[in-house]
Structure 1
């Protein structure tokens, strides 16, 4: 309804019936024929209604452009809240349009030996009654997952880039398994904890935390356990996995060529916000 326009529902409905009937070339509804029986013109149309119909040509409503239809969308997309669409995962915060899930991390590109080892770990866990789902991608987080408004993205990433200018690359390694559970107790993770490069990672976290504080977002954990998540399962299954985690660790330590070590060359820090990825190369 246009702002400043008002009309009774009865008149609007009546006008619509008359105009629609005239446009289609159909006879008018009975109530209009009866009201027009005393009219001298014999057209069966009330004088006021007929005059309005004759003076105003029927208007065809044009479809709105797609850009306008999506300009004011619903606040919540119901499909994004359906855990069955995400393997049973439950969001840590409610999804709203305009809110972008954001985190800072180092990517890890798995090598062939890592992928073979991961298959063995998942198979061994399955034999012990815990079904783990492999991560879609592997990374080492340097921030918590926070909610960023769309109009904050550019200044947020600019602040990160400025803070990381001059920071050096970070080389780290991991080889010890550890179990993690999120704060909401909705997901449990099997991860590989970092054993070298911890000090350099803390230096980078301080830079990231400075930007988080600038935008009043939650900073990283005070005593972080840097790790690469390998797989996950729904709910809190920490106790169950810890019962056989040493069995899984043996699969890592007793390789033919010696214990497997995950090596992460932190040459490029990244920020994922929604479906966008920003890259921040570090100094060699």
Structure 2
């Protein structure tokens, strides 16, 4: 009985089982009847279980190679969007990488260029020759340059300046009388604007000579004492190129002092192979000039011009004498003053 009871109990359990195994029914009709006789709740439960099984089959695919989905793994979920600070860091890294790549590209491009073509070219101003200087006499009162202009050459001269002071107006009137007298004979003269006594020819210096020559001249000439000049008489002078004619007043007193000064100047410029002063030069002050060589015509007027000169100096007797306390060395547009020694 015990055995039979256990068998009956087993039969009842199998009868209530939802297994699709053998439940004791053999005909298809009985199986259909069993399915149809199940409650709606059970049918819903079965349906929900079947849907869960399908979802699980999708989420956890089988490792079998028979299914197409089993050979390709599911793509990973997308990463979360970067924060603003992370985004800025990524952009900076991308920019630096781009600059580095461009730098390497430019280096690679120039590495194949021969060294000669990578040399920085000279400015066009240096490659082209300097423009030729052309003198225009109309801009210089008709004067013609006696020495050709050349870049790097400095026209220079040593001279004694004459300061008129309070007699400037009366002396200008005196020069105007001389010019007017010449104009009556069709000789057009121009009054000199810079009154001086030349102690050298026009010297052409290189730039690097100026400073040492200035020091030499100052060392030699500053030992001379101050002295006085006395002017008297008119003379006519023509430059070496015979392109200009001058009317000048000669130096009478003070020529010995000027000779000593010129001798020391000549010794200084001889080291630079520059021309010495005129051997038989006449110290004078040019008061008027004209272009060309009109020396013969002007000399014929000297007696008349001498009368005008004597009349002026008879009135302005103090204008005959000039005190010399300094010499000037002009080179280009620079003027160097050399002071003479004062007597104690």
**Scaled by the length of structure 2, what TM-score is found?**
0.60
Q: Which position in structure 2 is the counterpart of 1:228?
A: 285
**Pairing 1:114–2:154 present:** no
- Per-residue CA deviation, residues 142-194 of structure 1 (Å, 9 max, x unaligned), is 11111011111101101101111311123111121100001111000000000
Shift of 1:69: 5.2
Aligned residue pairs, count: 221
Q: Which position in structure 2 is the counterpart of 1:211?
A: 268
Inter-CA distance 119–181: structure 2 relative to 1 (3 Å threshold): same
- How far apart, in 2, do the equivalents of 1:236 and 1:116 lie? 25
How do residues 44-123 of structure 1 correspond to structure 2 at under 5 angstroms?
A: 74=130, 76-78=132-134, 81-110=135-164, 111=167, 112-123=169-180
Structure 2 gap ranges (5+): 1-105, 111-121
- How far apart, in 1, do the equivalents of 2:313 and 2:331 lie? 40
Q: Which position in structure 2 is the counterpart of 1:193?
A: 250
SS at match of 1:91: coil
Inter-CA distance 72–251: structure 2 relative to 1 (3 Å threshold): farther
Q: Which position in structure 1 is the counterpart of 2:69?
A: none
SS at match of 1:254: helix
SS at match of 2:150: coil
- How far apart, in 2, do the equivalents of 1:97 and 1:249 lie? 43
Confirm or deny: 8 A CA contact 2:191 2:288 kept in the other structure: yes
Q: Which position in structure 2 is the counterpart of 1:266?
A: 324
Moved more, 273-282 or 132-141: 132-141
- How far apart, in 1, do the equivalents of 2:248 and 2:235 lie? 5
Shift of 1:126: 0.8
Confirm or deny: 8 A CA contact 1:76 1:97 kept in the other structure: no
SS at match of 2:285: strand
Confirm or deny: 8 A CA contact 2:157 2:202 kept in the other structure: yes
Confirm or deny: 8 A CA contact 2:174 2:312 kept in the other structure: no
Inter-CA distance 243–279: structure 2 relative to 1 (3 Å threshold): same
**Pairing 1:145–2:202 present:** yes
Q: Which has the higher strand share?
A: 1
* Aligned mate of 1:131, from 164, 177, 188: 188
- How far apart, in 1, do the equivalents of 2:224 and 2:125 lie? 45
Q: Which position in structure 2 is the counterpart of 1:162?
A: 219
SS at match of 2:338: strand
- How far apart, in 2, do the equivalents of 1:272 and 1:70 lie? 30
- Per-residue CA deviation, residues 68-92 of structure 1 (Å, 9 max, x unaligned), is 95998726422xx222221111111
SS at match of 1:116: helix
- How far apart, in 1, do the equivalents of 2:237 and 2:229 lie? 20
SS at match of 1:125: helix
Shift of 1:262: 3.1
Bigger Rg over Cα? 2
Shift of 1:264: 2.2
- How far apart, in 2, do the equivalents of 1:283 and 1:201 lie? 15
Confirm or deny: 8 A CA contact 1:253 1:259 kept in the other structure: no
Moved more, 128-137 or 69-78: 69-78
Confirm or deny: 8 A CA contact 2:251 2:283 kept in the other structure: yes
Confirm or deny: 8 A CA contact 1:194 1:226 kept in the other structure: yes
Inter-CA distance 256–229: structure 2 relative to 1 (3 Å threshold): closer
**Root-mean-square deviation over aligned CA pairs:** 2.6
**Scaled by the length of structure 1, what TM-score is found?**
0.72
